Amino acid sequence: MSANFSFECLACCSQTKARAGVFFTPHGPVETPRFMPVGTLANVKTITPAQLRDTGAQMVLSNTYHLHLQPGEAIVAGGGGLHKFMGWDGPMLTDSGGFQVFSLSEMRKITEEGVTFRSTHDGKIINLTPERSIEIQSILGADVIMAFDECPPYPATRQEVEAATERTYRWLERCIAAHVRSDQALFAIVQGGVYLDLRSKAATALAKLDLPGFAIGGVSVGEPPELMAKIVQTTAPLLPPDKPRYLMGVGTYREMAIAIASGVDLFDCVIPTRWARHGTAIVSGTRWNLKNAKFREDFTPLDETCPCYACQNFSRAYISHLVRSQEILAYTLLSIHNITELIRFTQKIREAILSDRFIAEFGHWLNSPEPAGDDHELITND
Ligand SMILES: [Zn+2]
């Protein structure tokens, strides 16, 4: 691992593969397990970096695909790089753009060289290759950069997934060759769809490479939750124990608890901010729709145990009023609360692992289904 990055495991659960550790980056440490908020366009929607800091955020994500289209990596570099441009001095991670190319773009054409697609921003034809993705991420300047991978859709045939998984490995070799900055850690991504033997084969091959971190990608793309759990349980333990493991695009309580029990350290998901913009709060693992009539005259905080600015200063009735009036402050307060809540969940798990009480305190999440709450919006990724 580059001298700028290291992972230290502080404690292991005696009953599962859960672990508590610290991932050191040039912009500071990341205590794991940890939920990472998503700042798609170099901002976490509706909140300032100071508010983001107060949620307990350590590492923050940004999306290469979106930043490449707007404002373009040259502007970000002109602004002093991603950290300075967006006013966040903590650790940052950029994805490779692969997921968005495969999920959002029309008219994409995949060849061995890379992907050609039409920009969702201005209709321009764009080529993205492993080398180009690494170059853009190098110009953006995050601490952790991701390998350019092919994320097959769900469902897909075994033949299609096998071809995408093998191509992802060949593209990783090209990403490693193109990677130049020693202050950036390149993470590899395990693909393999829902085929557990393909996942095992891919994870075993990647684990042989001396890389500073590993991710499990291509989950949360529409497969049933039980299948996702099997993928994570099969894949995570095959990845090197002395490196951080990151499950991409996952951020619900049960999915995170199951993944942590399998040895995963890092998570990201857009749900806390996306749900906030739909007037939804995450409270004790359930979703509350603040438009619900029962909140109109409820003058208690969203969650009395929550230390966030929204819970310390405002009532459910007030936030419900702001949501009904479509005031922007509603989305700010709910984003602050929802991000704080998901980070707190992973922090509490970390403390439980450190005192070997993970199963005693969080074991119920490993079996029970995710509570639906009163808001049934589907979870999707940006
Ligand atoms: Zn709160």
68 annotated to bind ligand: no
Quote the ligand 1 centre to 331 CA distance (angstroms). Answer: 13
Instruction: Answer yes or no: are the C-beta atoms of 163 and 171 closer than 8 Å.
Output: no
Which structure tokens are listed for 233?
């349980």
Quote the ligand 1 centre to 300 CA distance (angstroms). Answer: 12
Counted domains in the chain = 1
Helix, strand or coil for residue 268?
strand
> pLDDT at position 103, please?
83
pLDDT tens for each residue of 6-25: 999 999 999 999 999 999 99
Indicate whether 166 pLDDT > 80. Answer: yes
Quote the ligand 1 centre to 282 CA distance (angstroms). Answer: 9
> pLDDT at position 108, please?
84
Domain CATH number, residue 32: 3.20.20.105
> pLDDT at position 372, please?
59
Residues of the domain holding 154: 6-269
Mean pLDDT of 293-321: 98
Instruction: Report the share of the chain in percent with pLDDT over 90.
Output: 89
322 burial level (CB within 10 Å; 0-12, 13-18, 19+): buried
Mean pLDDT of 69-95: 98
Note the pTM of the prediction, 2 decimals. 0.96
> pLDDT at position 120, please?
81
95 annotated to bind ligand: yes
Indicate whether 48 pLDDT > 50. Answer: yes
DSSP for 272-285, please give it.
HHHHHHTTEEEETT
Quote the ligand 1 centre to 306 CA distance (angstroms). Answer: 4
Does 250 reside within a domain?
yes
Measured from the Cβ of residue 356, the count of other Cβ atoms closer than 10 Å reads 15
Instruction: Answer yes or no: are the C-beta atoms of 52 and 79 closer than 8 Å.
Output: no
Question: CA dist 41 to 62, 64, 89, 135, 156, Å?
Answer: 6, 9, 16, 18, 30
Does 299 reside within a domain?
no
> pLDDT at position 231, please?
98
Does 315 reside within a domain?
no
337 annotated to bind ligand: yes
191 annotated to bind ligand: yes
Q: Annotated active-site positions, please?
A: 95, 268
Quote the ligand 1 centre to 334 CA distance (angstroms). Answer: 8
Question: CA dist 326 to 207, 235, 288, 337, Å?
Answer: 48, 43, 16, 17
> pLDDT at position 371, please?
64
265 annotated to bind ligand: no
Mean pLDDT of 169-185: 98
Quote the ligand 1 centre to 360 CA distance (angstroms). Answer: 25
Does 46 reside within a domain?
yes
Indicate whether 379 pLDDT > 80. Answer: no
Instruction: Answer yes or no: are the C-beta atoms of 311 and 257 closer than 8 Å.
Output: no
Integer Cα distance of 2 and 21 in angstroms: 18
Does 363 reside within a domain?
no
Indicate whether 380 pLDDT > 60. Answer: no
Does 359 reside within a domain?
no
pLDDT tens for each residue of 125-152: 999 999 999 999 999 999 999 999 999 9
Quote the ligand 1 centre to 163 CA distance (angstroms). Answer: 45
Indicate whether 89 pLDDT > 60. Answer: yes
382 annotated to bind ligand: no
12 annotated to bind ligand: no
Indicate whether 93 pLDDT > 80. Answer: yes
Helices (H) and strands (E) in the chain, counts: 15, 16
Taking the CA atoms of 231, 101, 32 and 143 in sequence, report the sign of the dihedral they define: positive
pLDDT tens for each residue of 241-294: 999 999 999 999 999 999 999 999 999 999 999 999 999 999 988 999 999 999
> pLDDT at position 260, please?
98
> pLDDT at position 102, please?
81
> pLDDT at position 375, please?
47
Does 223 reside within a domain?
yes
- Tell me the average pLDDT of the chain: 94
> pLDDT at position 373, please?
63
